[in-house]
Chain A
């Protein structure tokens, strides 16, 4: 028997719920933007394909949102149930953006309802389109606000702790801490990227299955064009995130890169394994790359793991998560660039492999989001609020967290499966041209 440890189970349950929520949350942030792009193109070009695209994406979106809403409600309650001590401190310092987030939810929920149920109800098509704008703003704003909370956990500013008592609270300084800029921009743009690729993967799937409707080609073109921009943006901002880590959380960066000795001209280590003597084997080394990631120049001195007390270090397996995220980022950028190039140059030879790469891109992007978050969250350990409160101090002491973990695991499995089945059922047998004819 394993001894009951509420801290361990609380961590597992939090990770489980957030890991599940973030799939729907990420798509919830990005898809409204994609719907807006399609809807806008449809109105401007007077093209029914794009209008239908917006309609169909919106129809699938509402199912995603529903699961996002219920799992989001779960995590909002769980933060208090599992981390009562954390919420005690967080409420005093970073409660403001959490509270603002609720208004963003209101905004989004209200206008999403309005948008979905008012197709063809207004004289001007623009009026209906305008209802979508608050949805886009609201969903991005909710990602913005919640990410500032997470940024605060990484870089706690805006208060002082005098003998265990909180004083001098400045909610705005807590919200706009040094981690905020890179955190929110990377989270938001990677959500856009992921959504573009998930929608592209669906279009690629239809094309691979031999559906010939120009609808799917238009969908692919739109999502890939957006995808290139977001992919490059994600990589650029990811690079800034590395620089943030270098200045404010050097042990996280060092752990991600298995960088033991402080040195300049540090190489970036890709893959590999760490043997029991602490030596890196079978890894690819990219010379100078870590120094460039950390400071922009090859002579930047990067702090090594040996400078930190071992009890303050995160587990070193996060290296693989970081590598996975970066690899996928490069892959997505390459695929979308190649696609556009192939279009331009009218290369047809690569069509099939490219479509298959795009199809893989959807799930891979989601995988990158998961690995990015787990890397970032586990990389902060042992702290829940960096340098202020450890995860252990924050956890609940209640009984039965293990039982709750099992219950929620079952819940998410059931929800996940039903969600996929429902989405497939909604779109599987549709013949696009048929639908367009009927609507005429």
Chain B
């Protein structure tokens, strides 16, 4: 693999981890709010707190990693995206800031208020909507470049069926991923009532997710034929994704093996996400910026990749420790040891 491909692969892997971890987080916010408001169920809320409190910062770092990594490996991307995305980017930052800090205020400050939970729930759906728009923009057709001026065409973006389909896809995916993971987590906490409620939420968003996936696929044909034909070239990846989806759905209906079901769903998204990414290459921003003309110099690339390897060597054992202590420690989840 060339430096360019190595770089973009690293970034894409971290973005994938962020998408899964953040989906759980975003969806949890929504479920937390929804069940509290409409079901007066507080156990789900507690389970979610237990999982989220130790990990939300780590989730956030994955996003920061992607952004900083992108501008380090592809400095030109900072120029194009930076100029074009001022307004949507700022709105996403503000939403993220509200979400993160009010989560902390509520969870650590002991200030449970309806309003905080509402903010937390609402931003859980708004953030994926605003972040997914970046993927839409990367497909090209919404940005025009005239010399130093990079302009985003808002009217075109907001009236584009493709953009809205991607937003819906993002929202349903968030609920689907989150519901299935939290159902698994509730089972581990030996709370079968919450588990079945969460499983039901997940199942409800399953079909919309896959339907939106297919719709986006079809809309791409008109929007960016080049990308579409590359997607069709690797059709088997997406077929595999659909198979994984069906298997996960079947498992979930039985109500057992939520862990395996969640694993299959992660794989379903992995295949679709990497397939989509592979077809997108070599473009970072169609058709203006490719990974080859936006790449950093060789010395820097080598240094970055070395640091990355060293960083991973520290990161993986630490993450393992987190998983072991919080995710797979049944006692912690059941909240026996730690008040």
Contacts and interface: CB of A to CB of B under 8 A. Distances in A.
Contacts of A110: 58, 315, 318-319, 321-322
Q: Which of B54, B78, B84, B325 has the most CB of A within 10 A?
A: B78
A76 to B, nearest CB: 6
Given A95-B300, A408-B94, A114 B72 contact: no
B300 A84 contact: no
A422 B86 contact: no
B322 A114 contact: yes
A170 interface: yes
A42 to B, nearest CB: 19
Contacts of A387: none
B87 A91 contact: no
Interface in B42-76: 53-55, 57-58, 60-61, 63-65, 67-69, 71-76
Given A96-B72, A107-B314, A87 B82 contact: yes
A331 interface: no
A102 B63 CA distance: 10
Interface string A384-402: 0000000000001111110
Nearest to A415: B101
A349 interface: no
Contact of A99 (B86, B108, B111, B307): B307
Given A80-B67, A103-B307, A119-B338, A169 B299 contact: yes
B79 interface: yes
Contact of A98 (B72, B84, B332): B72
Contacts of B304: 95-96, 99
Contacts of B109: 63, 422-423, 425-426
A351 interface: no
Contacts of B102: 418
A170 B299 contact: yes
A431 interface: no
A57 interface: no
Interface string A98-131: 1111110111011111101111110000000000
Contacts of A85: 79
B214 interface: no
Given A120-B338, A397-B149, A73 B93 contact: yes
- The main secondary structure of chain A at its interface with chain B is helix
Contacts of B103: 66
B97 interface: yes
Interface in A56-71: 59, 62-63, 65-67, 69-71
B75 A95 contact: yes
A74 interface: yes
A66 B104 contact: yes
Nearest to B76: A88
Contact of A63 (B75, B104, B149, B322): B104
B297 A166 contact: yes
A170 B109 CA distance: 46
A162 interface: no
A145 to B, nearest CB: 11
Given A102-B61, A103-B311, A398-B83, A74 B93 contact: yes
Contact of B54 (A70, A113, A121): A113
A419 interface: yes
Nearest to A72: B64
Contacts of B197: none
B328 interface: no
Interface in B219-242: none
B98 interface: yes
A99 B68 contact: yes
A118 B53 CA distance: 12
Given A63-B108, A426-B110, A69 B72 contact: no
A171 interface: yes
B296 interface: yes
A75 to B, nearest CB: 9
B194 to A, nearest CB: 21
A396 B83 contact: yes
B254 interface: no
Given A63-B108, A74-B97, A81-B86, A101 B68 contact: yes
Interface residues of B, number: 69
Contact of A102 (B55, B69, B337): B69
Contact of B105 (A73, A100, A169, A419): A419
A422 B82 contact: no
B136 to A, nearest CB: 18
Contact of B303 (A84, A90, A171, A408): A171
Interface residues of A, number: 75
Nearest to B86: A398
A424 to B, nearest CB: 10
B89 interface: yes
A242 B281 CA distance: 50
B34 interface: no
A78 B101 CA distance: 18
Nearest to A412: B97
Contacts of B63: 73
A419 to B, nearest CB: 7
Interface string B127-171: 000000000000000000000110000000000000000000000
A404 B86 contact: yes
Contacts of B68: 76, 98-99, 101-102
Contact of B315 (A101, A103, A113, A171): A103
B318 A111 contact: yes
Interface string A139-166: 0000000000000000000000000001
A134 B337 CA distance: 24
B75 A92 contact: yes
B246 interface: no
Interface of B: 53-55, 57-58, 60-61, 63-65, 67-69, 71-76, 78-87, 89-90, 92-94, 96-98, 100-105, 108-111, 148-149, 296-297, 299-300, 303-304, 307-308, 311, 314-315, 318-319, 321-322, 325-326, 332, 337-338
Q: Which 9 A-B pairs have the closest CB atoms?
A: A91-B75, A66-B104, A95-B72, A84-B82, A87-B78, A113-B54, A422-B109, A80-B82, A103-B311
Given A91-B72, A121-B325, 15 more contacts: A66-B103, A69-B57, A73-B63, A73-B100, A77-B89, A80-B67, A88-B79, A90-B75, A96-B303, A100-B307, A102-B64, A102-B311, A114-B321, A117-B332, A398-B83
Interface of A: 59, 62-63, 65-67, 69-74, 76-78, 80-85, 87-93, 95-96, 98-103, 105-107, 109-114, 116-121, 134, 166, 169-172, 396-401, 403-404, 407-408, 411, 415, 418-419, 422-423, 425-426
